């Protein structure tokens, strides 16, 4: 574990913690909506708060910063070159899409895709394309967004980008992609969603959920989906993943315990590459991660951290899971892919009568490295 | 000035003897075979290590050229001395990405081929051509081969499960120039020992 002294919050560095004031306020409906209406902060949702986002320099930012457990200077010191120069890994800036039938010729059923439902539009971004580009600057549902993926930390995350585009800086922190915005060249580690240097230092992007799933499952759930095409404007061998393989079975970097660069912290509660579904609660020192295989097995798991109780619910249709705030401690059973309430009502995993909280898949070392205070639910 | 005159003599002699050794090696059928075989094999290994050549059996055949290929030709890619691919060739059982790295790899492969051809001749007929037996060409080929990995930067370390560091990345950046210096150096080292009068 990292020394406690390194867990200082960036309040000292001028970054206020989301939620310390009791209410986040100021998130637009678009900003808090993930795949069918996910909340980044359930309090905002519970109170029905929908205020204007703060747009600075053309980028829609969160009014309050996301939690960061190190001061920014420490994180800047941890930044290292991943090898490629700036834009050496080129973002896809003019993505083209095809329908599901056309995509079948490029994708195997078991191929990993990152699914997105936003403003009524449904899209899928194949992992084998994004592993070569890491960022797609797209417009979804009429809104400019960046769909980002870091192969070294196993994280796929969406961000609103406003009038700018994001590129790959070639730098890493905690093995995680450091993005840069092409307007100010501020540096944004993907998992933090918060700039650690530049004009936007200490400010956070508005993020939304991507669903890490397989092509077969996404297509079955969303047959109308559009799919990012290999016609990216760049030539790459999209059949070759330089880090290993997710299909048919994970191999190479994706399962080996070693990381490419030294991680920010060591936490042996889980193997380095074990996938967790992590949630950043805004309260001080409150992060919670559900071990994904445990969720897959149990269907429903409950975890508490600080004053908060969270519920993780597995969705076998997409091999993903959703995290809810459960302030009253309601109990749910799990039966045939559905959550069953005390009164016998059955709910789809994505539609429990609770506030869904933004959470995303990440390799354990990456999550625990950035959030050493995290509690983990393993079953 | 006098020093310079004296030093230019040995340099010229070394270069001239090296030229002779190379001509002698490539003037023989077996020497040419070693040169061509080593160059081709080395280039293949270089491209494969650099993720520019893959044997994936896709069954597809075709060529795809990037948008604005000339503009992209000199665009830096994954790491130092690595350039953006501008064409993709699918040839049934594999895929090849063309970029300036192929030319870079070809240059290094030619140097390795010449080194091995001269070394081969030294081993086969040291007296006939006056070349002292030397394996320096083989040894110089090691960093040259590793420089193929430099094209994909630290990603190659993933294969071996080795944790990268800033120092190691710096080493990677120097592999290509170091390989070229070593290969030229080893060739001149062997050539220096040649006495055309004995040939």
How confident is the model over A58-86, as pLDDT tens digits? 899 999 999 999 999 999 999 998 888 89
Q: What is the pLDDT of residue A219?
A: 98
pLDDT exceeds cutoff 70 at A48: no
Sign of CA dihedral B103, B105, B106, B111: positive
Query: The tokens of A109 are what?
Result: 């059923």
Per-residue three-class SS string for A134-164: CEEEEEECCEEEEEEEECCCCEEEEEECCCC
pLDDT band at A232 (very low <50, low <70, confident <90, very high): very high
Mean pLDDT of A276-304: 92
Looking at the DSSP bridge assignments, the partners of residue A40 are none
Question: Which residues, 6 or more positions from A67, have their beta carbon under 8 angstroms from its beta carbon?
Answer: A9, A17, A18, A280, A281, A282, A286, A287, A371
Q: What is the pTM of this model?
A: 0.86
Position with higher pLDDT, B102 vs B12: B102
| Of A80, A243, A256, Cβ closest to residue B155 | A243
pLDDT exceeds cutoff 80 at A256: yes
Residue A188: DSSP 8-state: E
A205, B24, B30, B136 from B120: Cα distances, Å: 62, 11, 9, 11
Q: What is the pLDDT of residue B38?
A: 92
Interface residues of B toward A, Cβ cutoff 8 Å, are 51, 54, 56, 58, 64-67, 76-80, 82, 84-88, 95, 97, 152-155, 157-159, 161-166, 169, 172
For A218-236, b/e burial (b = at least 16 CB within 10 A) is bbebbeebbbbbbebebbb
Q: What is the pLDDT of residue B161?
A: 78
pLDDT exceeds cutoff 70 at A20: no
Distance CA A167, CA A164 (A): 10
Set of chain B residues whose Cβ sits within 8 Å of the Cβ of A236: 85, 88, 97
Query: The tokens of A61 are what?
Result: 């930012």
Residues A324, A310 contacting (CB under 8 angstroms): yes
A131, B46, B145 from B106: Cα distances, Å: 28, 9, 12
Of A189-193, B105-109, B129-133, the poorest mean pLDDT is in: B129-133
Most confident stretch, A363-367, B21-25, B60-64, B77-81: A363-367
Provide the CB-side half-sphere exposure for A106 (13 A, CA): 23
The residue assigned the tokens 């310079």 is: B4
| Of A235, A252, A260, Cβ closest to residue B154 | A260
- Report yes or no for ipTM above 0.85: no
Taking only the tens place, the pLDDT of each residue in A85-143 is 899 999 999 999 999 999 999 999 999 999 999 999 999 999 999 999 999 999 999 99
Helix and strand numbers, DSSP H then E, in chain A: 8, 28
Taking only the tens place, the pLDDT of each residue in A185-215 is 999 999 999 999 999 999 999 999 999 999 9
pLDDT band at A1 (very low <50, low <70, confident <90, very high): very low
């Amino acid at each position: 574990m990292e020394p406690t002294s390194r867990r200082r919050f960036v309040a000292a560095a001028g970054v206020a913690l989301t939620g310390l004031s009791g209410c986040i306020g100021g998130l637009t409906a678009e900003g808090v909506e993930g795949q069918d209406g996910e909340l980044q902060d359930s309090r905002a949702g519970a109170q029905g708060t929908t205020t204007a986002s703060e747009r600075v320099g053309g980028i829609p930012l969160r009014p309050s910063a996301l939690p960061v457990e190190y001061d920014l200077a420490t994180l800047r010191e941890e930044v290292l070159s991943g090898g490629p120069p700036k834009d050496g890994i080129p973002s896809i800036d003019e993505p083209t899409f095809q329908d599901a039938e056309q995509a079948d010729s490029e994708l195997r059923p078991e191929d990993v895709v990152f699914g997105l439902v936003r403003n009524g539009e449904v899209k899928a971004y194949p992992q084998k394309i994004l592993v070569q580009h890491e960022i797609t600057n797209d417009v979804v549902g009429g809104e400019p967004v960046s769909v980002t993926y870091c192969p070294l930390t196993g994280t796929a995350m969406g961000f609103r980008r406003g009038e700018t585009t994001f590129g790959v800086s070639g730098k890493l922190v905690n093995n995680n992609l450091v993005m840069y915005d092409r307007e100010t060249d501020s540096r944004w580690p993907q998992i933090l969603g918060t700039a650690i240097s530049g004009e936007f230092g200490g400010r956070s992007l508005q993020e939304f959920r991507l669903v890490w799933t397989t092509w077969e499952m996404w297509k079955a759930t969303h047959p109308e989906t559009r799919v990012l095409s290999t016609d990216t404007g760049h030539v790459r061998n999209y059949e070759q993943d330089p880090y290993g393989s997710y299909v048919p079975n994970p191999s190479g970097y994706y399962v080996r315990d070693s990381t490419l660069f030294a991680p920010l912290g060591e936490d042996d509660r889980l193997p380095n590459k074990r996938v967790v579904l992590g949630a950043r609660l805004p309260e001080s020192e409150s992060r919670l991660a559900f071990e994904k295989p445990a969720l897959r097995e149990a269907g429903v798991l409950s975890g508490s951290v600080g004053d908060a109780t969270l519920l993780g619910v597995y969705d076998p249709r997409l091999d993903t899971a959703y995290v809810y705030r459960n302030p009253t401690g309601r109990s749910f059973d799990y039966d045939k892919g559905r959550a069953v309430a005390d009164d016998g009502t059955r709910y789809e995993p994505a539609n429990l009568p609770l506030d869904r909280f933004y959470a995303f898949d990440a390799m354990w070392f990456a999550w625990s490295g950035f959030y050493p205070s995290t509690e983990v639910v393993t079953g | 000035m006098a020093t310079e005159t004296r030093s230019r003599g040995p340099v010229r002699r070394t270069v001239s003897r090296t030229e002779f050794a190379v001509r002698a090696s490539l003037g023989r059928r077996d020497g040419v075979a070693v040169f061509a075989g080593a160059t081709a094999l080395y280039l293949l290994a270089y491209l494969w290590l650099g993720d520019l050549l893959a044997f994936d059996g896709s069954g597809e055949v075709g060529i795809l050229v990037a948008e604005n290929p000339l503009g992209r030709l000199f665009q830096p890619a994954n790491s130092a001395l690595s350039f953006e691919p501008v064409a993709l060739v699918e040839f049934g059982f594999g895929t090849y990405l063309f970029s300036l790295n192929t030319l870079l790899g070809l240059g290094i492969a030619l140097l390795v081929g010449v080194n091995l051809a001269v070394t081969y001749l030294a081993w086969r007929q040291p007296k006939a051509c006056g070349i002292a037996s030397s394996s320096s060409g083989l040894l110089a080929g090691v960093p040259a081969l590793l420089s193929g990995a430099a094209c994909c930067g630290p990603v190659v370390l993933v294969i071996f499960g080795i944790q990268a560091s800033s120092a190691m990345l710096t080493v990677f950046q120097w592999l290509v120039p170091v390989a070229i210096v070593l290969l030229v150096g080893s060739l001149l080292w062997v050539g220096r020992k040649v006495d055309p009068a004995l040939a």
